[in-house]
């Protein structure tokens, strides 16, 4: 029996504010036999790469069960659904037909489709040619984007180019914890540059196809120094440069932070003009702040990752805050801090912001901890609005429990529980909470319009 958590009224968000949920193709679609091999298929086939030894060959079987999942979206009452398009599937015969059907189903249900065009699942045959370490991959990405936009652009209005190039660079190319499993440390920087270049080329391709609402989904969070000692402040500043400014400054300011541009390949000045193509919104994926100090002289296990001793910083535990089942700190006020800091740093160069991911991993159907987490973060988002940040939308991660990358099926982020044996979907208490939140927001909006 799921008990209903009492809903304390959440302040009213502006009219037209976009409420949604997010997923990604590799994590939910399954049907691996109906697409090309991706870097994640290659990665998960290697023993020891995924903690429970699982793969996403079936995942949630969304490929076959998408009508059921769209019905869940409609029942939830969201305005929009952020999903990703699988590049390996588009490369396969009939692959785009699936997204045609999905978009049609969403439109018929009154749910706005918001595709992300790259969410870490690079075709393996491109990785064999160097992947994101090679400049040519950015051009191939733009070509693929043009194909998708030509097919879906008559129904899709809002587009996202890339998801979290910072994580794909750090975890996939620097530390080897994610596909493609490279451990290049700072030699991974070309992967960052080429993803950013791919973003800019994709913006141009989407504009050429008539798109007028384009953004990116970058992960960001406040960096908190472990102390006010000079060594900790320096380490925290470097971490913030690497994980936040490296991926925001080129897009929003048309420049790399001092010292990083000369580390990038090619004609960086010319590339930055492409990377800084104007966008219509800036997507932020927020989960938590990061406490950073000086190196500690040994490898550190943190959040399921090994932070090597040779890095010029250490990631440390934030004390005296709750943590999720994943061990991630729960700090809603960090979202307000992040957004107001972005507003201060980028000012009129910052377009309207959309929170493209925010969520948490907890077990159980009666997931009161998830409800408390989301409640706190929605309120923190409203405080950012009150502080003058132009925020236009909020997407929960995620609709469904899914394949959580190197964690396999051990972490559950969904508003809907998935039994990975039977694939049965069961809405959790948090699904009902979010549905009631959206109803209350719309009722307040209607009452305000009637005055």
Active site residues: 164, 357
CB 342, CB 244: distance < 8 Å = no
Phi-psi sector, 222: left (phi>0), alpha (psi -120 to 50), beta? beta
The span from the CA of 389 to the CA of 352, in Å, is 8
The CA distances from residue 50 to 25, 36, 405, in Å, are: 18, 20, 7
Query: E strands along 252-390, which residues?
Result: 281-285, 290-293, 300-302, 305-307, 314-316, 353-357
CB 276, CB 251: distance < 8 Å = yes
The span from the CA of 244 to the CA of 192, in Å, is 12
CB 337, CB 348: distance < 8 Å = no
Phi-psi sector, 128: left (phi>0), alpha (psi -120 to 50), beta? alpha
The CA distances from residue 65 to 85, 174, 198, 281, 334, in Å, are: 16, 36, 32, 31, 36
Q: Which runs of consecutive H residues, i.e. helices, occur in 1-94?
A: 25-28, 39-44, 62-76, 87-90
At residue 104, the 3 state secondary structure works out as: helix
Maximum alpha-carbon separation in the chain: 64
The span from the CA of 37 to the CA of 180, in Å, is 12
């Amino acid at each position: 029996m799921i008990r209903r958590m009492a809903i304390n009224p959440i302040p009213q968000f502006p009219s037209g504010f976009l409420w949604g949920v997010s997923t990604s193709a590799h994590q939910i679609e399954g049907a691996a036999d109906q697409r090309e091999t991706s870097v994640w298929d290659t990665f998960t086939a290697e023993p020891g790469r995924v903690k429970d030894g699982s793969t996403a060959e079936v995942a949630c079987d969304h490929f076959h069960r998408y009508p059921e999942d769209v019905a869940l979206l409609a029942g939830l009452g969201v305005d929009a659904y952020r999903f990703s398009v699988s590049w390996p599937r588009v490369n396969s015969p009939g692959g785009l037909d699936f997204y045609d059907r999905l978009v049609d189903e969403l439109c018929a249900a009154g749910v706005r489709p918001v595709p992300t065009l790259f969410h870490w699942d690079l075709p393996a045959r491109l990785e064999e040619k160097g992947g994101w370490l090679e400049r040519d991959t950015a051009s191939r990405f733009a070509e693929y984007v043009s194909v998708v936009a030509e097919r879906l652009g008559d129904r899709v209005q809002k587009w996202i180019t890339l998801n979290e190039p910072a994580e794909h660079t750090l975890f996939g190319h620097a530390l080897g914890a994610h596909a493609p499993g490279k451990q290049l440390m700072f030699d991974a920087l070309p992967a960052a540059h080429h993803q950013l270049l791919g973003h800019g080329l994709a913006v141009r391709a989407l504009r050429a196809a008539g798109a007028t609402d384009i953004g990116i989904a970058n992960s960001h969070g406040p960096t908190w120094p472990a102390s006010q000692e000079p060594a900790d402040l320096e380490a925290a500043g470097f971490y913030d440069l690497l994980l936040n400014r490296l991926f925001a400054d080129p897009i929003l300011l048309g420049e790399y932070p001092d010292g990083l541009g000369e580390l990038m390949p090619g004609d960086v000045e010319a590339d930055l003009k492409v990377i800084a193509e104007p966008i219509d919104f800036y997507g932020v994926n927020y989960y938590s702040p990061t406490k950073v100090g000086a190196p500690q002289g040994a490898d550190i296990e943190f959040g399921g990752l090994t932070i090597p001793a040779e890095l010029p910083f250490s990631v440390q535990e934030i004390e005296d805050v709750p943590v999720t089942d994943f061990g991630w700190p729960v700090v809603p006020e960090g979202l307000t801090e992040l957004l107001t800091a972005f507003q201060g740093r980028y000012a009129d160069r910052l377009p309207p912001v959309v929170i493209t991911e925010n969520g948490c991993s907890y077990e159980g159907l009666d997931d009161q901890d998830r409800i408390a987490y989301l409640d706190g973060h929605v309120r923190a988002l409203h405080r950012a609005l009150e502080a003058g940040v132009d925020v236009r939308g909020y997407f929960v991660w995620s609709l469904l429990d899914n394949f959580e990358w190197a964690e396999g099926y051990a972490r559950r982020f969904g508003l809907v529980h998935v039994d990975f044996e039977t694939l049965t979907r069961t809405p959790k208490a948090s699904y009902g909470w979010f549905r009631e939140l959206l109803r209350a927001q719309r009722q307040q909006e209607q009452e305000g319009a009637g005055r």
